Amino acid sequence: MANECIQFMQEVTKRAEEIQNLLSTTMQGTSQNDVDQVKGQFAKLLSDSNELLQGFDAGRSDIDDVANRL
């Protein structure tokens, strides 16, 4: 199950990056404040997603360490 969660989060991160790139293109002509706000929100989403993935990896590593000791 942990592997599925990690794969899901990796896919979410990849899609968020794709959306961020598309938004940069489609928001041309929009006020700079709106563009900056959207970019900031996606940057936070990507950061949070990467943080979560790091947490999953650390947890999985800890579980593997315990399993190896048994």
Task: Please indicate, yes or no, if residue 12 is contained in any of the structural domains.
Answer: no
* Domain total of the chain: 1
pLDDT tens digits, residue range 10-49? 888 888 888 878 877 777 777 888 878 888 887 888 888 8
Task: Please indicate, yes or no, if residue 11 is contained in any of the structural domains.
Answer: no
Range of the domain at 45: 32-64
Cβ(9)–Cβ(52) below 8 Å: yes
Task: Please indicate, yes or no, if residue 6 is contained in any of the structural domains.
Answer: no
Rounded to an integer, what distance in angstroms lies between the CA atom of residue 33 and that of residue 18? 21
pLDDT tens digits, residue range 56-70? 888 878 887 887 888
